Structure 1
């Protein structure tokens, strides 16, 4: 219990991880809302695709029904809250408002919600409770909770994939890439030319990355390989399945949890001073003794006369 207590409360991370978490999450949500602007009234307004009584049957908690005026106000409030957090203007208050709006708009309508919305809600909870001061004692427990949460997510995902035969022979990976409804960044005609063993190897790599993540991410010599392997996996998901926002949010969470907290102090300051140039090394001038200074003054007086 003592070791776990030290692990949970006595870790001193680089405080820049909170900025990375808040700004990264809110930037992703801002892009999501901007892309949704044209379809927002049809999905969440008063004249949406599905009647409100039918939607209420699928709701676990209340969701808001927006008239033409309020839907514009809610959209502006959501975007404004994201911008306030990005600009570091009253971030805690803006995050609380953003979390409430996200719950009422997105996760409240379970018929339209999908994995990204629930993942974003979890990320917002962490961002709300993340400290806003450098010397807060809550850096360690909140960061450790986020780290263990990510380890649990990848461990469960890896175990589920390991028990599915489709991930060992590559069929599950192939179906995930070519199924309709997911615009890929790589042409399907190009992917069809890959030999079948490549898909099997890809499935093995995904299983290996997710199963070893909860172990290798804690060990300093292997943390870099595990972290950037997961980043590469989510980059592949973005390119092959078109899940750009989901991949971006997972990258933000991984970097905020296992990259920025371990940065040395001098690397934290460089991104905040974009035009800082390292000064040239010069020799310090030798100081004059009082006798040398007096002789120099006498010589200047004689020359003047």
Structure 2
């Protein structure tokens, strides 16, 4: 043994990998409350129901072959390798079911699935139907889709597998699922948290790689483009430093998200900053659904208590008995 550095051999060296594995296991699988996943389920379903109400008046214009994008043109823009309404139309045509009926039926199933998801009734089946019909609607009207639709579909897919019914649900009240902390709830929560951390970090670094977010140009364009303009902010031309500060703030919030939303001391300020950022997007750019969904995701992932309650502290009488 002479000549070998101290600490590389013996029981201590064998304990180190085991300690690392235990830490990973605690991080990913320590039993946790399903409350954050339930809040994600409820918040996402509520926002998507709001979006459905906004889209409903233009249902056939968006998804029909005689709508805004007609016939083959719509099919060119559609992502044909994924499920879409056209598949259901072709499948049901021999039965005499027309395109309008298929579109309406898909929309009704989607809304009913979201309502069931909201209250947690047959939650997993509702998540499957909501995800599938959302995917069909999204791929059929692919030219009108933007980032929030992709986010919504991804997290609907997560809800298919996560135990979101284990809290705040009819399924729990009716005894269809068990409540209480579970490793599955912890794993589901970690997936959501890590996903959001990577997304915000990538978005922030992507913005930081160009000049527009450093010199205020990106902020100026965001509030002045006709399709996003909600208020007359032309006066920003006389105070360009405000746009610069706003751009730097966006970079700080997004890049800092992956690092500062995890520690307990900085978690709440970063949740508030992130929600405020998306509230600003909704207010000044009119992207209400986008702002609401992103706020729901952060609140559910980092602002809802996931740790199971610890053992109750002994009462005064018990403490006196222990002392005596």
Moved more, 85-94 or 238-247: 85-94
Among 170, 183, 188, the residue aligned to 1:142: 188
1:238 lines up with 2:282 in the alignment: yes
Distance of aligned partners of 1:18 and 1:224 in 2 relative to their CA distance in 1, 3 Å threshold:
same
Instruction: Structure 2: state its 5+ residue gaps.
Output: 1-19, 90-98, 167-178, 311-324
Residue 38 of structure 1 corresponds to: 57
1:89 lines up with 2:88 in the alignment: no
Among 243, 248, 259, the residue aligned to 1:199: 243
Instruction: Structure 1: state its 5+ residue gaps.
Output: 267-305
1:74 lines up with 2:106 in the alignment: yes
Among 17, 22, 26, the residue aligned to 1:6: 26
Distance of aligned partners of 1:172 and 1:193 in 2 relative to their CA distance in 1, 3 Å threshold:
closer
CA-CA distance at 1:172 after TM superposition:
0.8
Q: Which has the larger radius of gyration?
A: 1
Residue 285 of structure 1 corresponds to: none
Q: What is the alpha-carbon root mean square deviation over aligned residues? A: 2.1
CA-CA distance at 1:56 after TM superposition:
3.0
CA-CA distance at 1:112 after TM superposition:
2.3
Residue 228 of structure 2 corresponds to: 182
1:159 lines up with 2:205 in the alignment: yes
How many residue pairs match? The answer is: 263
Residue 297 of structure 1 corresponds to: none
TM-score for both structures, normalised by structure 2: 0.76
Residue deviations 1:191-244 (CA, integer Å, cap 9, x gap): 547611011011111111111111111110011111111111111111111101
Q: Distance in 2 between the 1:109 and 1:71 partners?
A: 12
TM-score for both structures, normalised by structure 1: 0.80
Residue 54 of structure 1 corresponds to: 73
Q: Distance in 2 between the 1:222 and 1:140 partners?
A: 21
Contact 1:107–1:117 under 8 Å retained in 2: no
Contact 2:223–2:233 under 8 Å retained in 1: no
